[in-house]
Structure 1
């Protein structure tokens, strides 16, 4: 544990340096129903402000979504609902981090989590954040553009598997040689690759990729072809609808999906907007690289992954293992270390959540 700063109020305990990671789509599932009510009953004003914005658009409130008696794929997974709901849960978790115990030195996020990371860093005000997140999340409310599937490219010890990587690259190249088929790398997600494509391309990929663990290749329900050229139209709409005035200089350093760092000292907000609504939408999102850069450049003592859920915990750990972060070289190293002194705190995990809160 490094003594990087001292709490001037009591002169007692050194703060730990932490990086905070925001999740993307697909993390609010059946188990997370009621997350806001369960963990954030004190955030009523924050939630009400989001719902006032949504009400003006004729959208269902996130408080109502969270309070549903039963989880519904039809209701909870469409982008226009999932995006705002996940943002509210993640931002509320961020507000609960004990800043007397932790110094937040940088933030990053996965896919839609990039928009959340902008809010965490102060590059989007609360009003601008729900505007950007709700607008981009609602872009396919009239119908999905393409889809996504996920496939592992790691071995049993969560180390990179070059054979699986070569297989994925080969399948992408072969699918795109077939007329009417389109397939792209969407996200480099720790030990997984997320592929985006049109229906014909995804179907052919599913035929060519060997079945693994009776799960993969796995389609991601209600996900469009994010981070691919198929979303050029979405990018153009975003740029047309979301003005430069929404974007501010971040107060906390940000690491994006290319591994680029945006700081309070050097950020050009026009370029930040251009990346967020342009390249970030239509090019692959390298979450693994974002994690590697934030670890190497900011040397945190711990990593905090925001909720809801804990679907991002594995990919973060896999990204750390690939770079020997915290000295972890295998899944076994990670599992053993987490039992003694967790370096990776997932706030969506009820057993770990308390570690990030006021002692």
Structure 2
């Protein structure tokens, strides 16, 4: 019998109203929003449910997304479902930490609130990100290495879709060169900074201080890191990997391929949108990928 993975999306999928039906119908979900509010010092429910622009600003997006993901996760757990494996893309890795029981929800909410602030503060002027479609990773890696300035791979999403990040001029030059090398398209992303770039190493250093006294529990559910694209085998590795994750490439495709090797054949995306489900279908057509963002989704599954 195959294994089931719970997977969690990163920022970019957020929208007003996300998680509201769980908040209204599951006591445990409402408790998670209230815990996030207490830990972050923000009215997270209003941030998620009422019209506002802050939800699309990194320092607010991250806590809003995570609160929604953990609220849905707890409703799923209340129904008796548990994963064999868990992973998340970028911010979503913190949802995976919750699913694996590695940190308490309260600590995760507090850390992610700080993470969002530090990443927003660390954003340099002139940063950019661009999605590159239709080229193998090795060509993109070699091209980035040749470009003057800071440009590197932010996300290995799936075959034919990789995101580059760094200084705007360097990213633009790399994109132009990649088009001549056969890229189908290079699409600039509407983001507030060059995330998962060495330019954000300072945010990781500040996060390290926040993580210093956080308790890390034994790993009870298999959990994969964005930094390595592989399983985290010891709880002593968790904090350093989370620090590195801020400025390292997100190895999502590698993580999924590792789970496939381990016998995972069902992926349940928990949270807003179907982005990760789409990536997984491009990585393998032989597995099931579904999402839970509404109560109807949970009941159907």
Larger CA deviation: 40-49 vs 126-135: 40-49
Whether the 8 Å CA contact 2:7–2:267 is kept in 1: the answer is yes
Deviation at 1:40, TM superposition (A): 2.9
Correspondence list, 1:12-23, <5 A: 17-23=3-9
Map 1:64-79; keep pairs closer than 5 Å: 64-69=46-51, 72=53, 75-79=54-58
| 1:149 equivalent in alignment to 2:130 | yes
Q: How does 1:338-349 map to 2 (within 5 A)?
A: 343-348=288-293
Q: Note the 1:1-359 alignment, pairs <5 A.
A: 2=1, 17-28=3-14, 32-41=15-24, 42=26, 43-55=29-41, 60-69=42-51, 72=53, 75-97=54-76, 102-142=81-121, 144-145=123-124, 146-153=127-134, 163-165=135-137, 167-175=139-147, 178=148, 181-191=149-159, 192-210=161-179, 216-257=185-226, 258-263=228-233, 267=234, 269-278=235-244, 280-297=245-262, 299-321=263-285, 325-326=286-287, 343-348=288-293, 352-356=297-301
Cα 1:23–1:76 change in 2 (3 A) is same
Secondary structure of the residue aligned to 2:154 is strand
* Stretch moving more, 284-293 or 215-224: 215-224
Q: Give 3-state SS (helix, strand or coil) of 2:267's partner.
A: strand
> Hey, what's the Cα distance between the residues in 2 that align with 1:271 and 1:166?
28
Q: Check conservation: 2:3, 2:85, Cα contact below 8 A.
A: no
Cα separation, 2, equivalents of 1:126 and 1:88: 9
Q: Return the alpha-carbon distance in structure 2 between the equivalents of residues 347 and 23 of structure 1.
A: 11
Q: Given that residues 30 and 71 in structure 2 are in contact (C-alpha distance below 8 angstroms), is that contact kept between their aligned partners in structure 1? A: no
C-alpha root-mean-square deviation of aligned residues, in Å? 2.6
In structure 2, relative to structure 1, the CA distance for the partners of 1:25 and 1:251 (3 Å cut) is same
Shift of 1:209: 4.2
Distance (whole Å) between structure 2 residues aligned to residue 47 and residue 136 of structure 1: 18
Distance change (3 Å), C-alpha of 1:286 and 1:97: same
- State the TM-score, normalizing by the size of structure 1: 0.73
Q: In structure 2, the residue corresponding to 1:35 is in which secondary structure?
A: coil
Deviation at 1:262, TM superposition (A): 2.7
Question: Larger Cα Rg: Structure 1 or Structure 2?
Answer: 1
The verdict on how the C-alpha distance between 1:301 and 1:222 changes in structure 2, with shifts beyond 3 A counting, is: closer
Distance 1:201 1:350, change over 3 A: farther
**Cα shift readout 1:161-215 (whole Å, capped 9, x = no counterpart):** xx5545523531332xx3xx2100111001311111012212323433439xxx9
Q: Distance in 2 between matches of 1:96 and 1:24?
A: 20
Cα distance per residue 1:36-76 (max 9 Å; x no partner): 21343122221111112222xxxx4221112223x63xx22
Aligned to 1:11: none
Scaled by the length of structure 2, the TM-score of the pair is 0.86
Aligned length: 291
Q: Which sections of structure 2, spanning at least 5 residues, go unmatched?
A: none
Q: How far has the Cα of 1:350 moved from its partner?
A: 7.9
Deviation at residue 24 of structure 1 after TM alignment: 0.8
